[in-house]
A and B are shown apart, each in its own frame.
Chain A
Amino acid sequence: MPLLNDRDREAVRTELAKMRGPVKLVVFSQALSSTADLCQQNEALVREVAELSDQITVEVLNLAIDRDRAEAYGVADVPAIVVEGARDYGIRFLGIPSGYEFSNLIDSMIVASSGETSLSDATKTSLQALETDIDIKVFSTPT
Protein backbone atom coordinates (compact mmCIF):
# COMPACT_ATOMS: atom_id res chain seq x y z
CA MET A 1 0.00 0.00 0.00
CA PRO A 2 1.47 3.38 -0.93
CA LEU A 3 2.30 5.68 1.97
CA LEU A 4 1.70 8.87 0.01
CA ASN A 5 -1.73 9.58 -1.44
CA ASP A 6 -2.19 11.12 -4.89
CA ARG A 7 -2.48 14.64 -3.55
CA ASP A 8 0.71 14.29 -1.45
CA ARG A 9 2.52 12.86 -4.42
CA GLU A 10 1.60 15.78 -6.64
CA ALA A 11 2.58 18.31 -3.97
CA VAL A 12 5.94 16.59 -3.43
CA ARG A 13 6.55 16.33 -7.18
CA THR A 14 5.98 20.09 -7.50
CA GLU A 15 8.37 20.80 -4.61
CA LEU A 16 11.05 18.46 -5.98
CA ALA A 17 10.93 20.28 -9.32
CA LYS A 18 12.95 22.96 -7.46
CA MET A 19 15.92 20.58 -7.24
CA ARG A 20 18.96 21.84 -9.14
CA GLY A 21 21.13 18.73 -9.21
CA PRO A 22 21.29 15.08 -8.25
CA VAL A 23 20.66 13.91 -4.70
CA LYS A 24 21.36 10.49 -3.28
CA LEU A 25 19.37 9.12 -0.37
CA VAL A 26 21.43 6.53 1.46
CA VAL A 27 19.08 4.44 3.56
CA PHE A 28 20.31 2.30 6.43
CA SER A 29 18.12 -0.62 7.47
CA GLN A 30 18.50 -3.81 9.42
CA ALA A 31 16.18 -6.69 8.59
CA LEU A 32 16.90 -8.79 11.66
CA SER A 33 16.26 -6.27 14.39
CA SER A 34 13.43 -4.97 16.53
CA THR A 35 13.14 -2.05 14.12
CA ALA A 36 12.70 -4.23 11.01
CA ASP A 37 9.13 -3.00 10.40
CA LEU A 38 10.12 0.63 10.77
CA CYS A 39 13.06 0.06 8.42
CA GLN A 40 10.76 -1.45 5.84
CA GLN A 41 8.33 1.49 6.04
CA ASN A 42 11.22 3.93 5.86
CA GLU A 43 12.60 2.27 2.73
CA ALA A 44 9.14 2.23 1.15
CA LEU A 45 8.67 5.94 1.86
CA VAL A 46 12.08 6.81 0.40
CA ARG A 47 11.37 4.79 -2.73
CA GLU A 48 8.01 6.51 -3.20
CA VAL A 49 9.66 9.92 -2.91
CA ALA A 50 12.46 8.91 -5.29
CA GLU A 51 9.90 8.03 -7.95
CA LEU A 52 8.83 11.67 -8.02
CA SER A 53 12.06 13.11 -9.42
CA ASP A 54 14.67 11.89 -11.90
CA GLN A 55 17.30 13.66 -9.80
CA ILE A 56 16.99 11.23 -6.89
CA THR A 57 18.83 7.96 -6.48
CA VAL A 58 18.47 5.57 -3.58
CA GLU A 59 20.99 3.23 -2.05
CA VAL A 60 19.88 0.87 0.69
CA LEU A 61 22.54 -0.40 3.07
CA ASN A 62 22.40 -2.85 5.94
CA LEU A 63 23.69 -1.50 9.24
CA ALA A 64 25.00 -4.93 10.29
CA ILE A 65 26.69 -5.75 6.99
CA ASP A 66 27.80 -2.40 5.58
CA ARG A 67 29.58 -1.43 8.79
CA ASP A 68 32.36 0.55 7.15
CA ARG A 69 29.87 2.73 5.29
CA ALA A 70 27.78 3.19 8.43
CA GLU A 71 30.85 4.25 10.37
CA ALA A 72 31.94 6.62 7.63
CA TYR A 73 28.51 8.25 7.69
CA GLY A 74 28.38 8.21 11.48
CA VAL A 75 25.20 6.14 11.45
CA ALA A 76 24.72 3.86 14.46
CA ASP A 77 20.94 3.40 14.52
CA VAL A 78 18.21 2.42 12.08
CA PRO A 79 16.12 3.38 10.26
CA ALA A 80 18.35 6.20 9.04
CA ILE A 81 18.59 8.32 5.91
CA VAL A 82 21.62 10.26 4.71
CA VAL A 83 20.82 13.07 2.25
CA GLU A 84 23.77 13.63 -0.08
CA GLY A 85 24.10 16.29 -2.74
CA ALA A 86 27.30 17.07 -4.63
CA ARG A 87 28.90 15.89 -1.39
CA ASP A 88 27.84 14.70 2.03
CA TYR A 89 26.72 17.84 3.80
CA GLY A 90 26.02 16.01 7.06
CA ILE A 91 22.22 15.79 6.85
CA ARG A 92 20.76 12.76 8.63
CA PHE A 93 17.29 11.55 9.53
CA LEU A 94 16.90 8.98 12.28
CA GLY A 95 13.50 7.31 12.23
CA ILE A 96 10.81 7.63 9.60
CA PRO A 97 10.49 11.26 8.56
CA SER A 98 6.76 11.79 8.85
CA GLY A 99 4.64 14.82 9.55
CA TYR A 100 6.70 17.97 9.82
CA GLU A 101 9.95 16.04 9.35
CA PHE A 102 8.73 14.82 5.98
CA SER A 103 8.58 18.44 4.80
CA ASN A 104 12.09 18.88 6.14
CA LEU A 105 13.29 15.82 4.24
CA ILE A 106 11.97 17.33 1.01
CA ASP A 107 13.47 20.73 1.86
CA SER A 108 16.83 19.13 2.69
CA MET A 109 16.88 17.48 -0.73
CA ILE A 110 16.22 20.78 -2.48
CA VAL A 111 18.96 22.51 -0.48
CA ALA A 112 21.44 19.63 -0.94
CA SER A 113 20.75 19.57 -4.69
CA SER A 114 22.13 23.07 -5.15
CA GLY A 115 24.28 23.60 -2.06
CA GLU A 116 22.49 26.92 -1.67
CA THR A 117 20.70 27.79 1.55
CA SER A 118 18.22 30.45 2.55
CA LEU A 119 20.45 31.60 5.43
CA SER A 120 21.48 35.23 5.71
CA ASP A 121 24.97 36.25 4.59
CA ALA A 122 25.85 37.07 8.20
CA THR A 123 24.90 33.56 9.34
CA LYS A 124 26.85 31.95 6.50
CA THR A 125 29.94 34.01 7.31
CA SER A 126 29.76 32.99 10.99
CA LEU A 127 29.30 29.32 10.11
CA GLN A 128 32.18 29.33 7.67
CA ALA A 129 34.44 30.69 10.40
CA LEU A 130 33.69 27.77 12.75
CA GLU A 131 36.82 26.06 14.00
CA THR A 132 35.14 23.16 15.78
CA ASP A 133 32.78 20.49 14.55
CA ILE A 134 29.13 21.11 15.38
CA ASP A 135 26.65 18.30 15.89
CA ILE A 136 23.02 19.43 15.94
CA LYS A 137 20.39 16.95 17.06
CA VAL A 138 16.76 17.91 16.52
CA PHE A 139 14.25 15.72 18.36
CA SER A 140 10.69 15.83 17.10
CA THR A 141 7.53 13.75 16.99
CA PRO A 142 5.16 13.16 14.10
CA THR A 143 2.32 15.67 14.19
Chain B
Amino acid sequence: MRLAQHMAVASDRVRATAIEATEFPELSRSYRVQAVPKIVINDRVQFEGALPEAQFLDAVLRAAGSGSS
Protein backbone atom coordinates (compact mmCIF):
# COMPACT_ATOMS: atom_id res chain seq x y z
CA MET B 1 0.00 0.00 0.00
CA ARG B 2 2.87 2.35 0.69
CA LEU B 3 3.89 2.80 -2.95
CA ALA B 4 0.26 3.00 -4.05
CA GLN B 5 -0.54 5.78 -1.61
CA HIS B 6 2.58 7.74 -2.53
CA MET B 7 1.50 7.45 -6.17
CA ALA B 8 -1.95 8.76 -5.23
CA VAL B 9 -0.36 11.83 -3.66
CA ALA B 10 1.95 12.31 -6.64
CA SER B 11 -0.84 12.25 -9.24
CA ASP B 12 -4.42 13.52 -9.34
CA ARG B 13 -5.19 10.58 -11.61
CA VAL B 14 -4.30 7.91 -9.07
CA ARG B 15 -6.53 6.60 -6.30
CA ALA B 16 -5.22 4.02 -3.80
CA THR B 17 -7.49 1.88 -1.65
CA ALA B 18 -6.20 -0.50 1.01
CA ILE B 19 -8.68 -3.30 1.57
CA GLU B 20 -8.66 -5.54 4.60
CA ALA B 21 -9.39 -8.82 2.84
CA THR B 22 -10.83 -10.77 5.78
CA GLU B 23 -13.38 -8.02 6.51
CA PHE B 24 -14.50 -7.95 2.87
CA PRO B 25 -14.69 -11.60 1.87
CA GLU B 26 -17.05 -11.07 -1.06
CA LEU B 27 -14.95 -8.33 -2.58
CA SER B 28 -11.84 -10.46 -2.02
CA ARG B 29 -13.51 -13.45 -3.65
CA SER B 30 -14.59 -11.41 -6.64
CA TYR B 31 -10.96 -10.35 -7.13
CA ARG B 32 -9.74 -13.89 -6.46
CA VAL B 33 -7.49 -12.89 -3.61
CA GLN B 34 -5.56 -15.98 -2.58
CA ALA B 35 -2.32 -14.47 -1.34
CA VAL B 36 -1.62 -11.03 0.06
CA PRO B 37 -0.71 -8.41 -0.66
CA LYS B 38 -2.63 -8.59 -3.91
CA ILE B 39 -2.66 -5.51 -6.06
CA VAL B 40 -5.32 -4.88 -8.71
CA ILE B 41 -4.97 -1.87 -10.98
CA ASN B 42 -8.01 -0.69 -12.97
CA ASP B 43 -9.40 -4.24 -12.73
CA ARG B 44 -6.97 -5.01 -15.52
CA VAL B 45 -3.46 -5.59 -14.21
CA GLN B 46 -2.89 -7.61 -11.10
CA PHE B 47 -0.04 -9.14 -9.15
CA GLU B 48 0.73 -10.64 -5.78
CA GLY B 49 3.52 -9.58 -3.46
CA ALA B 50 5.47 -6.39 -3.12
CA LEU B 51 7.22 -4.99 -6.18
CA PRO B 52 10.05 -2.48 -6.40
CA GLU B 53 8.99 1.03 -7.41
CA ALA B 54 10.02 0.77 -11.07
CA GLN B 55 8.09 -2.46 -11.61
CA PHE B 56 5.06 -1.18 -9.74
CA LEU B 57 5.10 1.88 -12.00
CA ASP B 58 5.37 -0.38 -15.02
CA ALA B 59 2.21 -2.20 -13.86
CA VAL B 60 0.42 1.15 -13.48
CA LEU B 61 1.46 2.20 -16.97
CA ARG B 62 0.31 -1.15 -18.38
CA ALA B 63 -3.07 -0.64 -16.71
CA ALA B 64 -3.22 2.84 -18.20
CA GLY B 65 -2.79 1.28 -21.59
CA SER B 66 0.50 2.95 -22.40
CA GLY B 67 2.50 -0.25 -22.34
CA SER B 68 2.10 -3.82 -23.46
CA SER B 69 -0.26 -5.85 -21.29
Contact = CB atoms under 8 A, between A and B. Distances in A.
Given A95-B24, A118-B6, A136 B17 contact: yes
Interface in B26-45: 27-28, 31, 33, 36-43
A100 B33 CA distance: 17
Interface residues of B, number: 45
Contacts of A94: 17-20, 23-24, 27
A90 B18 contact: no
A127 B53 CA distance: 12
Contacts of B4: 136, 138
If over half of A's interface residues share one DSSP class (helix, strand or loop), that class is named, otherwise mixed; here it is: mixed
A94 B6 CA distance: 17
Interface in B11-69: 11-24, 27-28, 31, 33, 36-43, 53-54, 57, 60-61, 63-66
Interface in A53-96: 74, 77, 79, 83, 85, 89-96
A96 B15 contact: no
Contact of B20 (A95, A115, A119, A123): A95
Most buried by A among B1, B7, B22: B1
10 contacts: A38-B23, A79-B23, A97-B20, A101-B20, A119-B7, A123-B7, A134-B42, A136-B40, A137-B17, A137-B41
